[in-house]
Structure 1
């Protein structure tokens, strides 16, 4: 079996990391594992194993006929059986299906605004979904929405899994050792960094030696400007540090002491799983499937979204109780290693691929 993972970019987002994870893991499990990036490359390209055949289309528009021909030629030459399209790459996968009717098309729905699905654009997606053999979703909300609104033959939930990077530590973190909290999230509005910054301001009134480290892609847009302006206007420049996209995420997390997420909406955040694998205690907002990971108060702390006072209160509880932090971290790491393993996810995916191959 030959399977192509299709993704728009290789920036350090959750969907992109999962596409690379699948391509890498499948390279030892099936005849051929392929990865195609359609629009732009990024830091994650360095994480792609040599065993994975890689193609970059440099697609310039939705109907870039040069890119379509290039991918179609690649599919035919490599005798691709399955296209596993992630996130917004579903349209190109649909075009490939029209050109190659025997292709199996799997769509992986990573939609991050799963708390606001009533606002989701669906016209083109619904038309394309007629050609999907199967849909995977990253949480139960998406599974229910896709089952109701799309025309795909089958929709199932597939949990994200974590695959730590093996890059050497290159990022020098500021702040005091053992006094660092980290937020691993691209600078996007749904991640609600402003809520986190307001909570952190409350925290450092009592604990001035703690620092906050923001790791994730800076799109240099209005939202990023808003975050930076808030840091400047509230005189947090010596307490809050922005690093942008980083290659050595696993090593960064090992150098931190508390993982936080303050999102308004999520699917199942890969960052939360990465916190667990790194042995961090966590405080996260109760959105998406975060409560499937933090299923009890023994595994972490869940708080309501868009409530900086509740977030600050939870952060203070953990900052002021070292033994509680250690216990929560141990429990979460055990949970992630056992319930969100790559091996289990890959086995499920291969079974779905095979079920459609005649």
Structure 2
């Protein structure tokens, strides 16, 4: 079975990790998976670094529809059995040529398609509509949570027989491979996410402010349209000494920072199945999330992590405070319990096996 995964190529966050982790596992298992990005960028670069066979279509812009003929020819000449797209732009390109290709077309929905272009006025509404239409046209749709599956079936009106729930996974490391934690003075919290409204970093800032605990330090690792507004809010709240904005960080940079982190937090308004929390878990860091997506599958009880209400500053503050007031021993026990649970349920091998099982039905 020959499979081509397609992505726009400019992804820098969880989508990049999802694609590269999946194709790396496939390569190690001897599967015939390749990657095509519409443009040169971080995804192609990361894939090459992992030894994944990678092609770049060379689209001249986000809207270079002239490259559709090239894409059609590439897929048909390559004799691929499955073409698997990730992201709205790749979905759009395949929706325009899917009747001209011989391969079966699958899509992975990584995020809420109704929120992907939120706040982008008329253009955002147009892209949302085009992406929903693409989801309906595909032969197969993978949803990374049960919540997304229900949304696709009930709201987007995707044929329920096409929708399959497959949770994200990562490569977990042996505890002995995890760098030892540094001794540090403060209770360090990290938020790894794009600085966009949907990620809710303003809620976290306000929650930490509410606690009025100078022992807490907050590290925000991410870039995006809300970075400067978030910095302005930090100044407005007189929190500058407590907050560090790192901008986008590579996995290597994050690994170094994780050595002195006590809690990893996501305060998003919407999420799928966040890989950044699995990666924190792998690094034996306790996790806290708002009640988004299928987070209860990742944090099945209070002994595994903390869950706050979506959009609720008081609830977020309460959960952060619970973490801050636990002993180091209690936090270590929680981190180990969550890692053992996550390793069993959310490995990249489990994810690949589930995807292959669906591929084989075509």
- Length-normalised TM-score, structure 1: 0.85
Asked whether the 8 Å contact 1:109–1:137 carries over to 2, the reply is: yes
Structure-2 separation of matches of 1:66 and 1:75: 16
Q: Which moved more, 1:186-195 or 1:309-318?
A: 309-318
Structure-2 separation of matches of 1:317 and 1:129: 41
Cα 1:232–1:59, aligned 2, differ >3 Å: closer, same or farther? Answer: farther
1:343 aligns with 2:346: no
Deviations 1:302-358 (A, max 9, x none): 1112222221222122112123212211111111111101111111111211221xx
Asked whether the 8 Å contact 2:172–2:343 carries over to 1, the reply is: no
Which of residues 281, 284, 303 in structure 2 aligns to 1:279?
Answer: 284
RMSD of the TM alignment (CA)? 2.9
Partner of 1:261: 266
Structure-2 separation of matches of 1:118 and 1:194: 17
Q: What residue ranges of structure 2 are gaps of 5+ in the alignment?
A: 174-181
Cα 1:235–1:256, aligned 2, differ >3 Å: closer, same or farther? Answer: same
Partner of 2:227: 224
Deviations 1:192-220 (A, max 9, x none): 111000111233x23x233111112x12x
Which of residues 158, 179, 200 in structure 2 aligns to 1:150?
Answer: 158
Within-5 A mapping of 1:1-358: 1-39=1-39, 41-42=41-42, 45-46=45-46, 48-61=48-61, 64-88=64-88, 89-100=90-101, 102-112=102-112, 123-148=129-154, 149-151=157-159, 153-163=161-171, 176=184, 179-203=187-211, 205-206=212-213, 208-216=214-222, 218-219=223-224, 221=225, 223-247=226-250, 248=252, 249-322=254-327, 323-356=329-362
Cα 1:352–1:237, aligned 2, differ >3 Å: closer, same or farther? Answer: same
Asked whether the 8 Å contact 1:113–1:190 carries over to 2, the reply is: no
Deviations 1:172-201 (A, max 9, x none): xx9946632101111110111110001112
Asked whether the 8 Å contact 2:291–2:308 carries over to 1, the reply is: yes
- Length-normalised TM-score, structure 2: 0.85
Deviations 1:43-89 (A, max 9, x none): 77235455322122343456524432333333234322211111212
Asked whether the 8 Å contact 2:220–2:243 carries over to 1, the reply is: yes
Find runs of 4+ consecutive structure 1 residues off by over 6 angstroms. Answer: 113-120
Cα 1:32–1:304, aligned 2, differ >3 Å: closer, same or farther? Answer: same
Deviation for aligned residue 1:257:
1.2
Structure-2 separation of matches of 1:74 and 1:113: 27
Q: Which moved more, 1:109-118 or 1:229-238?
A: 109-118
Structure-2 separation of matches of 1:289 and 1:250: 26
Asked whether the 8 Å contact 2:289–2:308 carries over to 1, the reply is: yes
Pairs aligned (count): 342
Structure-1 separation of matches of 2:136 and 2:191: 38
Partner of 2:176: none
Asked whether the 8 Å contact 1:113–1:267 carries over to 2, the reply is: no
